[in-house]
Chains A and B, each alone.
Chain A
């Protein structure tokens, strides 16, 4: 097992014994005696007595090599398909681009309307292809993760600022982000994608208002970030499906465009890579809040985290 994997497992085991964690699951690559790669998934939990003292650990190890092999095939397939899809899409968007910029002369209102409509939908198709590629990389553990100590306020403000530009005054964005937040150990590019996705979702469903909050949580152990919208809300029974691929439970407010159905699954994968948590709370009629919990350290300090794959 690679040394950084050992370190990570030890950190998780310490959290388990210390009671900061109920359960953990990790996937590691080993080598069999014959030199074949072997993937194993380890799930561990701690059984405690009535006073909360650890009695014994419960560990389950599964051989998941076959699943990993299938994942890899799926990845390759998605990568090839997305290239093949993008090539004709490039011609469509190029042609539409030319029409929009008047290369073929002026358009009638109806023609202009159709051109805009094709352009919007081609862009959506492009986003879906991107999302599929991102997601398949994240799920297979092939995504490059570059974690470092990051101060959250500037990162969050930047995401909020670009959301403001996109919503163009249709909704107000309020923020409550204290300067003294503890720094977190994250990949800023990946986490920025999470913030952008949550804000994009909120903007699609908010009636008039989005509130972004960040606060220290669990002493100073982690930071909690919440994104609230005052949209129609989600029934309790649908909340658990939110993070599934292509589940679009909610209907956007007004004439809002539909999402790709991949944003939240991508968020979930990125947050899991950071040993964080993401969940949603909602009251029908009052709005929805997405919460994000980012542990401060989690994993080795120097050099960030490498993938075992």
Chain B
């Protein structure tokens, strides 16, 4: 089985580092982007198997990134897992409405994240 590629779009470099370490230890190839705009570009160039997407980001927020990606005939097929410190039922509803395949509230549990990635990062 070839290694799966995960793109992390999040503006918190410390968290990105931690997630990268955790995922690489599990055999994933990790690429990252620090804001929504860079994230959209990376989704095109890195051809990830799944995207971890933060919501509160400068320039283009996660909801908008999600909508733009899902509207694209090719990129729209990539599973998007929203990760956010906004954890109220209303936030989750909004994330799903923007097209997210899954929504994980921060703080993330690595075990839960790995389970979700195993389920979604298949293609």
Residues of A within 8 A of B (CB): 82-83, 86-95, 97-98, 101, 103, 122, 126, 130, 133, 144
Contact = CB atoms under 8 A, between A and B. Distances in A.
Interface stretch (B61-69, B70-78, B81-89, B94-102): B81-89
Contacts of A92: 107
Contacts, number: 59
Contacts of A95: 18
Contacts of A126: 107
B123 interface: no
Contact of A93 (B86, B87, B88, B107): B107
Given A91-B15, A91-B18, A133-B88, A86 B107 contact: yes
A183 to B, nearest CB: 25
Contacts of A82: 85
Q: Which of A94, A103, A133 has the most CB of B within 10 A?
A: A94
A94 B107 contact: yes
12 contacts: A86-B85, A86-B106, A86-B107, A90-B15, A90-B85, A91-B12, A91-B14, A95-B18, A98-B22, A98-B110, A103-B21, A103-B25
B40 interface: no
Interface residues of B, number: 20
Contacts of B111: 97, 101
Given A83-B86, A87-B106, A94-B18, 13 more contacts: A86-B107, A87-B12, A87-B85, A90-B85, A90-B107, A90-B108, A93-B109, A94-B19, A94-B107, A94-B110, A97-B109, A98-B25, A101-B110
B110 A97 contact: yes
Majority secondary structure of chain A interface residues (helix, strand, loop or mixed): helix
A78 to B, nearest CB: 12
A97 B85 contact: no
Nearest to A189: B89
Interface in B22-66: 22, 25, 56
B10 to A, nearest CB: 10
B93 to A, nearest CB: 11
Contacts of B14: 88, 91
Contact of B107 (A98, A122, A144): A122
A89 B85 CA distance: 9
Contacts of B108: 90, 93-94
Contacts of A83: 56, 85-86
A101 B15 CA distance: 17
A144 B92 CA distance: 14
Contacts of B25: 98, 101, 103
